Structure 1
Amino acid sequence: MNAIIRLAWQSLANRKTTALLTLLTIAISVTLLLGVEKIRTQAKSSFANTISGTDLIVGARSGQVNLLLYSVFRIGNATNNIDWASYQELSQHRSVNWTIPISLGDSHRGFRVIGTNHSYFEHYRYGQGQALKFNQGRPFENLFETVLGSEVAKKLGYQINDEIIIAHGLSDKAFNRHDNLPFTVVGILAPTGTPVDRSVHTSLAAIEAIHVGWESGARLGPTPEAEALNQIDFEPKQITAFFVGLKSRIQAFALQRQINTYNEEPLSAIMPGIALHELWGMMSLAEQALLVISGFVVIAGLLGMLTSILTSLNERRREMAILRAMGARPGHIFFLLISEATVLTTLGLVIGTGLLYLCLYIGQPILQNQFGLFIEINPLSTHEWYLLGLVQLAGFIVGVIPAIRAYQHSLSDGMTIKV
């Protein structure tokens, strides 16, 4: 058997150009197959780990996926705001343990600004119940202080005590910046692999303060300076949404129904886990389409190998006949062709897996910065090994077809072929 494998290797070496092209096709197809599978599973895991330990998310009346996207993932905008009086009433409900109010709408150089309070740093959880930690500094205490997510600080090069300017709305242009009210960086959070890393955190009072004189949505005339605003005790008029932690999860459905039928204003309360499940249900068609496409690419690569081996058979009939004349049995010829296909497939799997990890190493920061998707570089999962096993089996089956044809060639046919 070892002699046959060595012979198969030498045969491939003699046809190295064709073999290398075939090998490259298989390797790229395997990289695509594993890449789609890894991104699919890691994206689902990354989304699921974005928020943990929150029983309900409350916002203005809208679909639960939309509410989840803008409150947790900072994607899109709310249909409306929540009155501060409504928030205070619901936060004091007997079944509520803690709440985290958030106010969205402003930005800083492409990053979303979140107005909140100290409950955010105390109760917000991600992953498997992990709390937010500070790499440097502390939570905000004064009016014009801010805490940055790790990605904001890293990408923009901010350090403690640097000053930043917040812009009104999501487009950071000169005409809509609150440039007379700079914020001082007092804290930088540790990386979480979630949208927290790409957020700028300020107090709810600061959000109210910087919008004095902007009630119409634009700056009309001069606005108060920081010294004057620091003398005012600001209280929010509205917030965008709030997270709720309950004393007992058994009470979640009852409180959700009560919030959804709240008389003072139209509100929606969603359970993050159910909303995430609905989100993935909406994306399942695209997910399956990616898997099918990558599967067809693998099939195309294997068919290319089959074509290559079949095409070379006529050129190699004299070679097969000489092997037969030297004592090789038809079974040896059969296993020679299968060995060539198996060697090509195995090398394609190895190179394709190596290419995958190279692409992950290069693409990991790009995916995190551009799409907020954190892909862990970890060993292949059981399912991914199963996919590789299927590709290896398919390569073996593909090799059987030319092997049968070579097996059927007679010795005299091979010795009399015209070249």
Structure 2
Amino acid sequence: MNLVRISWANLRDKPLSSFLSGLLMTLGITIISLLLLLNDKLEDQFTKNAKGVDMVLGAKGSPLQLILSSIYQIDAPTGNIPLAEAQQLTRNPMVKTAIPLAMGDNYQSFRIVGTNHTYLTHYGATVGQGRLFTKSLEVVVGTRVAQVTGLKIGDQFYGSHGMDAGGDVHKDKSYRVVGLLNPSNSVVDGLILTPIASVWAVHEHGEAQTDEAHADQEAAPAPVPESDGPTDRDPTEKSREITSMLIQFRNPLGMMLARGINSNSKLQAALPAIEINRLFSLLGVGVDTLRYLALAIMVISGISVFVSLYNSLKERKYEMALMLSMGATRTQLFGMLLLEGLALSLIGFLLGVVLSRIGLALFSAGIAQEFHYSLTGFRLLPQEWLLLVAAVGIGLLAAALPAIGVYRMNISQTLAEE
């Protein structure tokens, strides 16, 4: 007796009931799987991009906004800060490196960020074609920027004011592409990087410094020798501004600097670890609610399977009595009903996993256009294997409850009633 074939035939015999049970299971699996995928991808991106950044120094305002704008490039900056004051604060012996950032323009919604070579080294970004910038108004572009805009070595373009496309175009100063970066799976993939002197030149309409070494002196990683700071050679250097600094400490005790900076200076020190944990805790309320909703849907799906098989058992009592009289065992019939519940669970799981990947791809396409992040991925997460076990357990339990009735069936009475 082929129990698998018979079980499948029984499911096909009740298409509407089977479809409803499978749909509920699929819906529950899809929601939970999608939440797991989003949580995994977002945590990966947030952790990877914040790695090695212990503190962000910027203008007063929302510390979370400062973190999002400076590390993840997904929010507007809180303002500009004096370069000289930022350098003075980062000369503390506990500071290992301080990477300066200057922002304010974009090209086709991709941010133009003024910085130095240390920023590229920090994120492990390497040049695939061309070279790194060495002079003002030279740029290197990330992988996603090149893919979307079509920029290539030697191209020239104008930046637009602001962080979004549609701002006023700075037509008096053009950037020139000198390098294309390899994929790094980091925030760098969606950025256009240039010396800080380029940002000053575009916004001040003055003469830019002509090499990156000088630009790095203007905003060098801390600790900075006294000779690397502003000098009397250019009186405007003392009034130069940047957007923020990404700071790495030599040891965990450096965290104590944040309180002093916030209390005794006009600048703000934000700690990524604290702000991101706070963000995830806020998002976690909504995520947990959706997860509980999905679990409730899966339980309802199990109840639907139970009702479907219970009604099916009542309708097929005569058929099963005949099978028993022809030599089938009660255990075989019990197994046949379990297979029906198992089939509905597996179908629901497979469809749920597929739909969750489709949902992730659609979500990724949306945020890629807005924030230039990619969250696609098709591998099964370890938590999804547990989800499979839970789905199969619900399906088998829902099928086992009505299937127990097979052992209480009176063959002669059932046949006589028909």
Give the structure-2-normalised TM-score.
0.83
Matches within 5 A, 1:128-167: 131-167=124-160
Identity among equivalent pairs (%):
26
Residue in 2 that maps onto 1:337: 337
Matches within 5 A, 1:9-408: 9-15=8-14, 18-19=17-18, 22-122=21-121, 124-125=122-123, 131-173=124-166, 176-212=168-204, 235=237, 237-246=240-249, 248-263=250-265, 265=266, 267-357=267-357, 368-375=368-375, 377=377, 379-408=379-408
Q: After TM superposition, give the deviation of residue 18 of structure 1 in Å.
A: 4.5
1 CA distance for matches of 2:246 and 2:289? 34
Q: Secondary structure at the match of 1:50?
A: helix
Residue in 1 that maps onto 2:228: none
Q: Secondary structure at the match of 1:135?
A: strand
Structure 2 CA distance for partners of 1:212 and 1:64, relative to 1, 3 Å: closer
Contact 2:103 2:112 in 1 (8 A): yes
1 CA distance for matches of 2:371 and 2:289? 20
1 CA distance for matches of 2:349 and 2:365? 25
Contact 1:22 1:301 in 2 (8 A): yes
Contact 1:147 1:202 in 2 (8 A): yes
Contact 2:361 2:376 in 1 (8 A): no
Deviations 1:338-364 (CA, angstroms, capped at 9, x unpaired): 221123223433444355456656765
Residue in 1 that maps onto 2:226: none
2 CA distance for matches of 1:106 and 1:315? 71
Q: How many residues align?
A: 394
Q: Secondary structure at the match of 1:205?
A: helix
Structure 2 CA distance for partners of 1:117 and 1:352, relative to 1, 3 Å: same
Structure 2 CA distance for partners of 1:409 and 1:373, relative to 1, 3 Å: farther
Q: After TM superposition, give the deviation of residue 33 of structure 1 in Å.
A: 2.3
Q: Secondary structure at the match of 1:193?
A: coil
Q: After TM superposition, give the deviation of residue 292 of structure 1 in Å.
A: 1.7
2 CA distance for matches of 1:360 and 1:303? 29
Structure 1: gaps spanning 5 or more residues = 126-130, 214-223
2 CA distance for matches of 1:417 and 1:105? 84
Q: Secondary structure at the match of 2:247?
A: strand
Q: After TM superposition, give the deviation of residue 331 of structure 1 in Å.
A: 4.1
Q: After TM superposition, give the deviation of residue 164 of structure 1 in Å.
A: 1.7
Q: Secondary structure at the match of 1:166?
A: strand
Q: Secondary structure at the match of 1:160?
A: coil
Amino acid corresponding to residue 298 of structure 2 in structure 1: V
2 CA distance for matches of 1:416 and 1:306? 27
Q: After TM superposition, give the deviation of residue 136 of structure 1 in Å.
A: 1.9
Q: After TM superposition, give the deviation of residue 84 of structure 1 in Å.
A: 1.6
Q: Secondary structure at the match of 1:167?
A: strand
Contact 1:33 1:298 in 2 (8 A): no
2 CA distance for matches of 1:350 and 1:184? 49
Amino acid corresponding to residue 244 of structure 1 in structure 2: I
Amino acid corresponding to residue 132 of structure 1 in structure 2: A
2 CA distance for matches of 1:394 and 1:211? 63
RMSD between aligned residues: 3.0
Q: Secondary structure at the match of 1:306?
A: helix
Amino acid corresponding to residue 129 of structure 2 in structure 1: Q
1 CA distance for matches of 2:129 and 2:361? 27
Structure 2: gaps spanning 5 or more residues = 211-232
Structure 2 CA distance for partners of 1:172 and 1:393, relative to 1, 3 Å: closer
